[in-house]
A and B are shown apart, each in its own frame.
Chain A
């Protein structure tokens, strides 16, 4: 469950991040202002508060919409969706910066060469921009993945049974909080170590077309 929430959150964050990054890179003053404001707000407010806000807020919004179409009563957003959305929205603010930096790291000559070869914007994006942005942003993405993994523990406050909540329940019912919180922590450690390995592998694979200094 923890892995699923964190994965969905990272994907939502990637979509938001790409959007915000392109808004900032668009050159339009309004796009940049909106991108900056988005990043400033979600990086300046505690994650826990965003989670509460999305969880309570989206349920309130949905119930309100339900009233409009004649449905009486409370409509709750599933904790999974609200949690993944909240962590994703935060992650998106950080990923936007990451992708912007990665785009700026692409050598200008490559873009010019692509254009000189007659590539259209879509083809250029697919063949030149995306592969390099992915390669440049993988180390940063590893960090953000681990952050999302740890932030997902905060979703336990909405009652979603992920790793943290499961440890809480076990700690409560067995009256051995120390053992179960330590076990929960150990599992998070296993997840981070394991995903570190995966990212190292992915980085190597993404860089297979480049020469390394000293190699």
Chain B
């Protein structure tokens, strides 16, 4: 294994990293909005909406992402009717299809996380806020949202990391992300291990940094859960 090849591989893979991150960021944000809708439907109290939300989560969590990706990319394109609509320029692009199917899939997982977070808010807190005369909006902004955010964060961090890993699937619909570039280098040079190892290292570092950043955010958001200061220490902050 020579250094020049290693460096070359590394540079080519790093050049593909923006696409991977772009797909990741877009699908996470888009999926987040869809998830908010699904969670709202689930908690709306109306039976048809709740049923829809349950079915959505069931289908998208119960099937492999690869199947969903292929249904969107290959499946939809096979209908002449779809090709005739104004959506066709979008659905023709692999980038759009990949982002869309990743977003729809993560939305199912994210909506469960949101639901769990809202369900985890102590009932008394909401009652207390009502008793103080908070309106619905103030109640959401001051009580529900901050508590739910903290409750959701650990599971949300896991979901964000598994989404980074899921972006590797877009290599199967002709996009040049880190995964597919490493496979191309492997095919061209017939070097088995190096390209895949370098790609693995890049994914690992991205996930590591992401996990650290989210852990730091969790620390910042939960000052009340940190260890209480000891009695014999000077109470300089109190």
Docked Cα-Cα span, A161 to B211, in Å, equals 36
Offer 16 A-B interface pairs, CB within 8 angstroms, sorted by A: A44-B208, A45-B207, A46-B168, A46-B179, A49-B199, A49-B200, A56-B196, A57-B196, A149-B64, A153-B64, A153-B67, A177-B70, A177-B75, A185-B59, A188-B67, A193-B62
A167 interface residue per 8 A CB criterion: yes
Q: Which chain B residues lie closer than 8 Å to A185 at the CB level?
A: 59, 63-64, 67-68, 71
Please tell me the number of chain A residues within 8 Å of chain B, measured between CB atoms.
39
Shortest B77–chain A CB gap in Å is 8
How many residues on B have C-beta within 8 angstroms of the other chain's C-beta atoms?
41
Is B74 in contact with chain A by the CB < 8 A criterion? Answer: yes
A48, A53, A176, A193 — which one has the most chain B CB atoms within 10 A of its CB? A48
B200 touches A181 (CB 8 A): no
CB within 8 Å of A: which residues of B? 58-59, 62-68, 70-71, 74-79, 161, 164-169, 171-172, 179, 182-183, 186, 192-193, 196-197, 199-200, 203-204, 207-208, 211
Residues on A with beta carbons closer than 8 Å to the beta carbon of B75? 171, 177-178, 181-182
Smallest beta-carbon distance B201→chain A, Å: 9
Closest CB of chain B to A74's CB: distance in Å?
12
Contact of B65 among A40, A150, A178 (CB under 8 A): A150
Q: Given A44-B204, A46-B179, are A60 and B71 neighbors across the interface (CB < 8 Å)? A: no
Please report the C-alpha to C-alpha distance between residue A164 and residue B65 in the assembled complex, in whole angstroms: 11
Contacts of B193 in A (CB 8 A): 53, 57, 60
Whether the Cβ atoms of B66 and A164 lie closer than 8 Å is: yes
Q: Is A139 an interface residue (CB 8 A)?
A: no
Q: Which residues of A contact B207 (CB under 8 A)?
A: 44-45
- A52 and chain B: residue at smallest CB distance: B196
Residues of A within 8 A of B (CB): 40-41, 43-50, 52-53, 56-57, 60, 146, 149-151, 153-154, 156-157, 164, 167-168, 171, 175-178, 181-182, 184-185, 188-189, 192-193
Contact of B203 among A46, A57, A149 (CB under 8 A): A46
Is A45 touching B200 in the complex (CB atoms < 8 A)? yes
A184 touching B67 by the CB < 8 A rule? yes
Contact A168 B196 (CB under 8 A): no
CB distance from A31 to the nearest CB of B (A): 22
Given A149-B64, A185-B71: 4 more A-B contacts, CB < 8 Å: A154-B66, A164-B67, A177-B77, A192-B62
